[in-house]
Amino acid sequence: MTIKRRQFLTTCGLTTLATHIPLLTAQGKLSLNTVLKPPRLQVGDTVGLIAPAGIVDAKDIEAAQKSVTQLGLKVKQGKHILERYGYLAGRDGDRAEDVNLMFSDRSIKAIIAMRGGWGCNRILPLLNYSLIRSHPKILIGYSDITTLLLAINARSQMITFHGPVATSTWNQFTMNYFQRILFNGEAVTMQNSNTKEVRVEIIAPGKARGKLVGGNLSVLSAMVGSPYLPSWNKSILFVEEIGEDIYRVDRMLTQLKTAGILNQIAGFIFGQCTNCSLGDEPSFTLMQVLQDHIVPLRIPAWYGSMIGHIKDKFTVPIGVEVEINANLGTIQMLESAVSA
């Protein structure tokens, strides 16, 4: 094996040593119980753009760079960002390498996924979770990026962020939450804007506290049974979806129920189910399905939070302590998600 080959394996975490040895404190004690907060962003910082899932092209990157530079940030592209392998942005090892390299690159202060699609689940065994934990930094995206956010939160014990990808619509609403949470380090209260298009529908009233965990429902469901999911105990679960018939949403929630996940959570938020249809057959409404699954849990829950495949979206920190109010549809952060 050449030195170059060994360096690649170490970077990608393909060896047992790189992936599975727990980190130790100076006193020799395990330190994985401490959840790390990545450093906050500052104007002038460099962020890395990666394509860990679906294909992107040069026009996507050009548009993404314009959006990111509006925030006062510089951009560095992943080594394999324009590669193609079927419907994926390169082979699994290459996409994993870009993730690992961005975390190890000290000039990079945050990592923004270009887009979702499919493919992140395939690279989970190739990520170097010890390396990632030793170089904590902001990782943000949504849709298929849910996989990376949950796996890194679980295996590296680091706060990650469900929010815009680089090709999202970076409007004032989206940029406001991004800047307040990731630049200013504020513990914000997320509340829908006053619009008739996005309204809160209460499933069950009340308040609850817990660690905020979740993401895209179909992606999360595909991870059930894997070793890449965080603890659900007394957590606040949020999900969102796009383009699924209601019976499929029912099927995925049933999977979370039979896997024992729903019975552990302290609160539930369904963001947006964008373009979710009743289908051609007789059907329940989405609210009927949500009530069937969630009301028996006797926990606060609502539908309609501004999370998901929509233009106006929150930046949602995964792993921070929050208090939710289902009556108002609010998510109140009880701590900053980034370090000074």
Q: Going by DSSP bridges, is the β-strand pair 108-113/267-274 parallel, antiparallel, or unpaired?
A: unpaired
Catalytic residue among 97, 240, 241, 244: 240
Q: Say whether 309 is catalytic.
A: yes
Q: How far is the CA of 253 from the CAs of 194, 256, 294, in angstroms?
A: 29, 5, 9
Q: Say whether 244 is catalytic.
A: no
DSSP per residue, 141-181 = E-GGGHHHHHHHHHHS-B-EEE---TTS---HHHHHHHHHH
How many helices and strands, by DSSP H and E, does the chain display?
11, 14
* CA distance between the termini of the chain: 42
Query: How is residue 45 written in tokens?
Result: 């910082």
Strand partners, 325: 207, 330
For residue 309, report the phi and psi dihedrals to the nearest 5 degrees. Answer: -85, 65
Catalytic residue among 67, 130, 143, 221: 143
Q: Say whether 107 is catalytic.
A: no
Instruction: Say how many residues make up the chain.
Output: 340
Residues near 99 by Cβ (< 8 Å), separated by ≥ 6? 50, 52, 111, 123, 127, 148
Q: Which of 286, 294, 131, 111 lies closest to 206, judged by CA?
A: 294
Query: How is residue 223 written in tokens?
Result: 């991870």
User: Is residue 38 helix, strand or coil?
Assistant: coil
Residues identified as active-site: 143, 240, 309
